[in-house]
Structure 1
């Protein structure tokens, strides 16, 4: 994504990465468009359900044909085409190594046109008893209430460490 082409989006991502987060979801944004508000609400409510113990976040938010990009240079970075492929190749290999699921502990959600930005912190416990903590910034391009493209930023070192350290079941 070219930041020059999306100055408001680039500002929101920059702001999200330096913001101090509270302990509960916050809805922010300047747009008043119906689709924009709907998209922000879809993502916010899905995060709220996930934080409360829900397990359907990806089904609730992602289109079946989503293109999910994990940015970075680690072995887990890459592009996953389709919700099923993303879950099978990125989510399940990671979550199968955890004894507790990743849960959002704080999140802030912004919307700008058809983009929703989620800046969140999550934690879990790996099967070896060690804590997993990470911070994420996800940029979701929404269409008809579902994310059709997602660009995910996270610290890949702790994520990849879990994958290296814990054998797959």
Structure 2
């Protein structure tokens, strides 16, 4: 009889641990989603800089074969080599519009459209899919997918 009680207690203990872990994961997912959602909103309305969310040692990968496609190994490199040169090509900077946010554990996936006006007056419209890994409220790793032909068009057209 005592063996059964001990086994029951062990089972109950592990069920409780699993429940607490699931609740913690769910809370972390909600928090990360809200952080990303708020950063996009502030970017869209001009009151914040999305890239403030990047950890100093972020690893940001831009896929494809565009002029800026490569792996960036920290925030400064990414901002200096990709974001600043791209923004210099715009008369009206990119305004994001989130289409969908997905969360799985510490990863937040954002599918969004970006619209801007290039310095030469032509529109820039692109759709992005960013896979961002979060830790302590910061993006520590990201993989970005988008139409690299559209990006290259402005990159090589506007100096």
TM-score exceeds 0.5? yes
Runs of 4+ more than 3 Å apart: none
Give the number of the structure with larger relative contact order, counting CA–CA contacts within 8 Å between residues 6 or more apart.
1
Q: TM-score, normalised by structure 1?
A: 0.77
Aligned length: 136
Deviation at 1:86, TM superposition (A): 0.4
* Residue of structure 1 equivalent to 2:51: 58
* Residue of structure 2 equivalent to 1:46: 39
1:84 aligns with 2:76: yes
Deviation at 1:32, TM superposition (A): 6.3
Larger radius of gyration: 2
Q: TM-score, normalised by structure 2?
A: 0.82
Please give the residue correspondences for 1:60-139 in structure 2 after superposition, counting only pairs within 5 Å.
61-139=53-131
Cα distance in structure 2, aligned partners of 1:141 and 1:135: 20
* Residue of structure 1 equivalent to 2:7: none
Q: Looking at secondary structure, tell me which structure has more helix per residue.
A: 2
Unaligned runs of 5+ in 1: 1-30
Unaligned runs of 5+ in 2: 1-23
Cα distance in structure 1, aligned partners of 2:143 and 2:132: 7
Structure 1 vs Structure 2 CA RMSD = 1.4
* Residue of structure 1 equivalent to 2:16: none
SS in structure 2 of the partner of residue 77 of structure 1: coil
1:153 aligns with 2:131: no
